[in-house]
Each structure stands twice: as C-alpha cells, then as structure tokens.
Structure 1
Amino acid sequence: MDFAFDARTEELRGRLLAFMDEHVHPAEAVAAGQREAAASPWDVPPVVEELKAEARRQGLWNLFFTNEHSLPGPVHGAGLTNLQYAPLAEITGRSPQLAPTALNCAAPDTGNMELLAQFGTEEQRRLWLEPLLAGTIRSAFAMTEPDVASSDATNIETRIERDGDAYVVTGRKWYISGALHPDCRIFIVMGKTDPGAADIRRQQSMVLVPRDAPGVQVRRAMRVYGYEDHYHGGHAEVVFDGVRVPADHLVGEEGGGFAIAQARLGPGRIHHCMRLIGMAERAIELMCRRAVARTAFGEPLARQGVVQEWIADARVAVEQLRLLVLKTAWMMDTVGNRGAHTEIQAIKIATPRTVVGIIDRAVQLHGAGGVSQDFPLAELWAAARTLRLADGPDEVHQRSLARRELGRYR
C-alpha cells in the first residue's frame, strides 16, 4: 500500500478543500437561518440547492460512485476507487450536514444507489437510480423495526407476501433516514417473504415501495439526542399498511434480502468512518482555537497540561484511525468487501468510539458554548454517538470479529 495520494486524489482534494472554504462553511450559518425561517422544518434551505448546483458545475458530484459501480451511458461520477474517495469523504465530514448533500454523497442515498446499481433491473435503474444520481429525488432504506432487535436482521417481522402479480407489504419501521425529505420518492423495504425457510438468512427479501403508494404512512419524526436531522430528511417512523407494489419491484431474488443488506452496509460503514475522521479534525481545530483564545486562572487554556494532553491524544488517535480506514479502503479495492470484512468491522468499532471521545473533550473545553447552538460540537457529538448504533452496534461487530479471530485457533 502506497501511503501517498495519487495525482488524481490530490487534485480533487485541492478543489474540494477550496469548495468547502469558499462555499460550504460560509453557507452553514445561512442554512441554519433559512431553516429557522421556513414554513416547514423539512423544507430544504435554498442555499443547499445553490451548493448542489455549484458542486455539479465544479465536477464535485457523485464522488462516492466508485469504478465497480460504473454503468453504461453517461458519466455518473468521478470513477474513483475507495482509496481515492476516502480522503475526499473525510473533508466532507468537516461539515456533515451540508457537504455530503451538496456533493450528492449523503446517506442513505449513497447506499441505495450502490444497491440499485448492483442488484437493480434495467427498469429499476431507469426509474430510480438515474434520478438519484442526478440529485433530483431522494430515497430511504427501511430496515430497522421498533419491536425487535434489528441488530440481528433475521429478526425482521415486516411481511412481504406475494399476491398474484403483486407483493403486499405490512409492517412498522422506525429511524428510517430520509423519509421526511420533501424529495423522497422511493423506499427500499426489507421484510420476510418466507418466514418458514430453514435457512434464516433466506427468509428476507427487498422491494421498492414508492413514497406515495397507498398504505404508506409516515407517522412521526424520530429525534436523535433531541435533534431532528432536517438537512437529510429526518429519521421517521413509517407504517406499511397492506401496501401493494408490482412484482417487478422486487430487488434481486426472493430470499436474497439478507445478502443484499450485507453488500449495501459494507461501503456505507466505511463512508461513515471516513466522514467521522473529518468530524474529529473539525473538533481538534475548534479545540485548538479555543485553547489559545481563552484565559482561565491567569493563563491561556493552551498552557494547561490537561488541555495539551487532550490535544496530543486526539492527534495521535486520528492519525491511527486514518491509517486503518485507508487500509480498509485499499483492501476493498484489492480483495473486495468480503476480503476486507475484518477491517471493515474494526473501523466500525474503533472510529465512532474514538471520535465521540475527541468531540466530548472539545465540548468540555468550550464549556457552556460546547453544548450550545453557537458551535457545531453538540450536533457533531450526537451524530458520532449515533454511529455506534447505526449499521450495527459495536457489540455485534465485536462478536463477529472475535469469532473470526478465534476461528484461526480452533
């Protein structure tokens, strides 16, 4: 593995850093003001559409759409490898509410686009993937349920039953990201088509459910530590009350839902970890600026030994995480997601946990300001802490990783 970024990556990093400084960071306060003045909390701030237009103009669009997902027809993205995309995703993590959306690289759309590219039919790609790649619609991924431990996907209770030339979807989901976005047009829903199958990993399937299909009920917005993720379309509780969709809305094959979910979540996990490193870098920057600007007990905070220790430990931790994430991205490119299974789990365990600690110290250094809306730290902390649950809680990944490690000695 070469530790230097190649020329293409360096060129894109330079352009993206300039885009962040000239457009994204100045838009943060503007977007917050526009959102507060909007008639609905889910209205998209106009500045977001301006950022998207500028990103497209500059060719900073669909950067996540790697070479393996290349499709026939027009160019959809930069055609990067995971290793090339990693440092770019890190940069967007410095403004996680605006930058990923501006570049059309925000979850859950990225995972849904990869899923449709890999498993969708030609017609499904035409109807849903093409407009998602164009950024004209948004999407949601409906898997998690409130009544079962969804960290074990075999527990899913939503039913997807064949009825002639249609499937009927019945179930209750929650924390369905993007469902409240005004441009959300399609759900990818995971449920059971054959709950009696002997192989519990062949009981599940996925279907495409239009947002406006009769029986789709978006009940309420779910908060995350008191926050509602307005920019990405919130996290909703959704009920599917006997929703009928044509049989050709099945994704892949019946019984293939579990395998598709695993294929989708692998890249999603590394994308989150890439952005988390950017969030940590933003926290370190704010911590350092605060330390040199504030005086307590007769001297700058920067001269306090404990503050110096926090900053040093944060720098060491981020450098370690970055190397592990880059190694994982390189392995995904060279040996595939399966070959990088252990590394994907390792970064999913280590990165959110470590970044939560870094942001928490930055909050502490800012005092009351750290938990206020005047700094991004409280929102960054909530987002990072949530990622210890999203895409599988720490303990699930630790269990799986330990089994693989122990397997070498059995």
Structure 2
Amino acid sequence: MNFDYSPKVTDLLNRLKQFMAEEVFPVERTYYQQLEEDRWGEPPIMQTLKRKAKDAGLWNLFLPDDEWGAGLTNLEYAPLAEEMGRVGFSSEIFNCSAPDTGNMEVLAQYGSPQQQARWLKPLLQGEIRSAFAMTEPEVASSDATNIETKITRDGDDYVINGRKFYISGAMNRRCEIMIVMGKTAPDCEDRHRQQSQILVPMNTPGVQVVRPMRVFGYDDAPEGHAEIVFDNVRVPKENLILGEGRGFEIAQGRLGPGRIHHCMRLIGQAQRALEMMSMRAESRVVFGRPMIKQGSVREDIATSACEIEQARLLTLKAADQMDRYGNKAARDLIAMIKIVAPKMACGVIDRAIQIHGAAGLGQDLHLARAYSYARTIRIADGPDQVHMMQLGRNLAAAYAATAQQEG
C-alpha cells in the first residue's frame, strides 16, 4: 500500500492541524469550564467552533459518500481522525463524533428517503444529536443476540418495552433521536434474524431516562451514558429501519467503521500523551539530573513510540482493506486493531501519567480523561475477548484449510 497521503488529504490535514492549533487547543480549558456551568447542554464555545469549522470546509469528513459527506475513503480519513482525536471533544467540532457518526452512516446506508429527510439531514447539519441504544444491564450484550428489549407490531405502530444502559449521547439535551435495537421475532430459529432497529424520538411518551451512568467517576458530559426504560413506547411502523429481522445486519454494518474510527482517535490520544511525556522528561529535574537522563524514562518514551507506530500502521492497513474489499473481507484486520489500539493507548497514557506524577491524575491535564476513554473502548463496540474469540476462530479455520490444501 502507498503510505504517502494524496494532495487532497495532505491539504485537509494541514488545514485541520492549523485549525486545531489556532482554534481548539487554546480554548480547551474554556470548554471544560463552560461545561461545569451546564453539564448536559452545549458549551457556547462549541457553537462558535462549529461555525468556524463549517466555514473552513472541515465538516462531515467521516462519510465516504459524496452525496452526504466529504467523499473520503477510510484510509484517507484515518490521519484526520487521528488529529481530531488529540482533544477529547474536538471530533464534535467537525461533526465527526460518535455515536452520531455511526447513526448517520446507518441512515445514509439503510434509511428510507423519509427517514433520511427527517433525521439524517439535521444530523449532517449538526442541528441535533443522537444516541444508539443496544446495551442492556440484564444480559451479556457483547453477544447481541442476547438482547431482550421487545419491539412488537401493533397495527400501524411498533410498541417497545425494555431497559437499556450506557446509551452514549442520550443525556445531551440536544439528543433528539435514538436508534434502538430490540427483538421483533424472539422465536425465530435464526438467532441473527430475531433483531430489528427502530427510530425512537427522545420525547416519545414512555421513554424514561433513569440516570446518567458514570465511567471511572466521569459523567462524560455533555453526551453522557444514560440508563433508559422503554415503557410501552409507541412509534409509527415507518420508523423501522430496513425491515424486520435486519437489526443484526445493520449493527454489523455500523460497527465496522465505528470500531476503526475509535482506533484512529485513540492513536491521536496516545500520540499526544507521548509528546507530553517527552516534554515533561526534558523539562523536569529529579534527584539532581534531568528526568530524561533516567533510563526507565527513556525506555518508556521509546516503547510508547514503537507501540503507537505499530498501531497506526495496522489501522491504516485495516482501513485500506475496508476500502478495497469491504468491511466483511477486512473483519480480521478490524478485529486486530480493535484489540491492539485500546490496549496500546492505555499503556502509553499510563506511562505519561506516571511521568507526570500527581499532575497526571488531576483535572488540569487531559491524561486521566484520556485513559478513561481508552479503557472504555476495550469494552465499547465489543470487548477484547469477543474479538479475540472470533479472530482466533477465523484464523484457525483459514490456516487449517491452507494446510490441508498444501498437504
């Protein structure tokens, strides 16, 4: 594969880096200060940054479809997502933040014209936010066929009953729509045809937001992670996406790009942590000598740089395979990077915290928040063990088949 960025990507990346340097990093602390005043609203500085990003032509960069987005491939988008990932909230500035990105991809790929007009277009404009409701507290949701939420046809409507939690984005007051995954055919012999996905506006009667869930003590405002009860929630049949029994298919189509987007952002977080630990080591004196003179510190920096570059290259290879052969053909590489990148980021950020001492644990630096995000992604979109189970199964079958042919 060609590791040189195209002129188009180079231009976008240079413009994005300039925007981050001039507009985002200088107001990072302001953003969090404003957020303290209204946890579930939108900090005023975010609206300002979004207008500037639109004016700069740095908007909806994630969508590969020219009709809806920037028309970039996964490989082209990777360095841009990495750069945005350096600041936890900056992806939203460019309308490239989860879970909205995944929901927009679902609506663009699977939504009806009516669903696209009602929900996709305002999401693309950044006028509203959204959530994706899949995980449930009573079942092992890493196996999506376990989901118990009921979606029952009743005349021209569907009625939804169930409980979800860790529904990212649903605490935000600007969240107007959820994509909810549940079972329309729980008795179907094919376990992968039992599920469907349906659009549920947040203001629908029976939608009860119970509480915000916390992640390592963070409420992850302003998006948050809600626990939600669906109590006889009734929506029109037109809100069903693609058709009954297609929910698992939609989820698989959604999660491939979503997983690699998280990995791209995590590489940005890890790269920033590496730069921070390097600056700290060069500027601090311990036991009468610069910290960088300590062998263990040098080893931490060198190890971190190696791990980041390995993960970056694997991410680019996975993205390239997705572009060339499709998400299904690239599933093993997607699984590999989903296993590798979060662990890598956790390790690098942990070393940066250690080198920063007490400051690394506090709110003045972004390291503690970054570690929380990296550790979360080891579970979000499928835990490590599920990806390793499926990857090991696929690889063993492929190697065994090859050996049999050669034998």
Normalising by the smaller structure, the TM-score range is over 0.9
Partner of 1:245: 235
What is the Cα deviation at residue 182 of structure 1? 1.2
Q: Distance in 2 between matches of 1:272 and 1:21?
A: 22
Structural mapping, 1:221-232, within 5 Å: 221-231=212-222
Q: Which amino acid aligns with 2:175?
A: C
Q: Distance in 1 between matches of 2:27 and 2:12?
A: 21
Partner of 1:203: 194
1:40-87 Cα distance to aligned partner (Å, 9 max, x none)? 3112110011110000000000000113xx43xxxx422111111000
Residue from 43, 46, 54 that aligns with 1:45: 43
TM-score, normalization: structure 2? 0.97
Q: Which amino acid aligns with 2:332?
A: T
What is the Cα deviation at residue 27 of structure 1? 1.4
What is the Cα deviation at residue 253 of structure 1? 1.1
Q: Which amino acid aligns with 1:282?
A: R
Q: Which amino acid aligns with 2:45?
A: V
Q: Distance in 1 between matches of 2:339 and 2:365?
A: 27
What is the Cα deviation at residue 384 of structure 1? 0.2
Residue 379 (str. 1) matches residue 369 (str. 2):
yes
Partner of 2:17: 17
Q: Which amino acid aligns with 2:208?
A: Q
1:320-366 Cα distance to aligned partner (Å, 9 max, x none)? 11111001111111000011010000000000011100000000001
SS at match of 1:243: strand
Residue from 157, 177, 187 that aligns with 1:186: 177
The answer as to whether partners of 2:41 and 2:174 remain within 8 angstroms in 1 is no
Partner of 2:62: 64
Structural mapping, 1:78-117, within 5 Å: 78-97=70-89, 99-117=90-108
What is the Cα deviation at residue 385 of structure 1? 0.3
Residue from 334, 345, 348 that aligns with 2:335: 345
Structural mapping, 1:7-406, within 5 Å: 7-36=7-36, 38=37, 40-67=38-65, 70-71=66-67, 76-97=68-89, 99-231=90-222, 233-406=223-396
SS at match of 1:255: coil
What is the Cα deviation at residue 142 of structure 1? 0.2
What is the Cα deviation at residue 314 of structure 1? 0.6
What is the Cα deviation at residue 11 of structure 1? 0.4
Q: Distance in 1 between matches of 2:35 and 2:328?
A: 42
Q: Distance in 1 between matches of 2:123 and 2:160?
A: 23
Partner of 2:405: none
What is the Cα deviation at residue 304 of structure 1? 0.3
Q: Distance in 2 between matches of 1:310 and 1:261?
A: 38
Structure 1: 5+ residue runs without aligned partners? none
Count of residue correspondences: 400
Q: Percent identity?
A: 56
TM-score, normalization: structure 1? 0.97
Q: Which amino acid aligns with 2:184?
A: T
Q: Distance in 2 between matches of 1:366 and 1:64?
A: 34
Q: Distance in 1 between matches of 2:266 and 2:215?
A: 17
SS at match of 1:267: helix
Q: Distance in 2 between matches of 1:94 and 1:294?
A: 23
SS at match of 1:242: strand
SS at match of 2:104: helix
Q: Distance in 1 between matches of 2:219 and 2:285?
A: 35
Q: Distance in 2 between matches of 1:156 and 1:370?
A: 39
Q: Distance in 2 between matches of 1:317 and 1:152?
A: 30
The answer as to whether partners of 2:78 and 2:319 remain within 8 angstroms in 1 is yes
Q: Distance in 1 between matches of 2:198 and 2:326?
A: 26
Q: Which amino acid aligns with 1:3?
A: F
What is the Cα deviation at residue 35 of structure 1? 1.6
SS at match of 1:344: helix
1:218-242 Cα distance to aligned partner (Å, 9 max, x none)? 11000000001114x1000011100
Q: Distance in 2 between matches of 1:284 and 1:225?
A: 22
What is the Cα deviation at residue 150 of structure 1? 0.2
SS at match of 2:371: helix
SS at match of 2:200: strand
Partner of 2:404: none
Q: Distance in 2 between matches of 1:324 and 1:294?
A: 34
Q: Distance in 2 between matches of 1:230 and 1:349?
A: 26
Q: Distance in 2 between matches of 1:201 and 1:78?
A: 33
Q: Distance in 1 between matches of 2:31 and 2:109?
A: 34
Q: Distance in 1 between matches of 2:184 and 2:63?
A: 30
SS at match of 2:352: helix
Q: Distance in 2 between matches of 1:138 and 1:34?
A: 19
Q: Distance in 2 between matches of 1:360 and 1:314?
A: 10
SS at match of 1:337: coil
Q: Distance in 1 between matches of 2:225 and 2:378?
A: 16
Structure 2: 5+ residue runs without aligned partners? 402-407
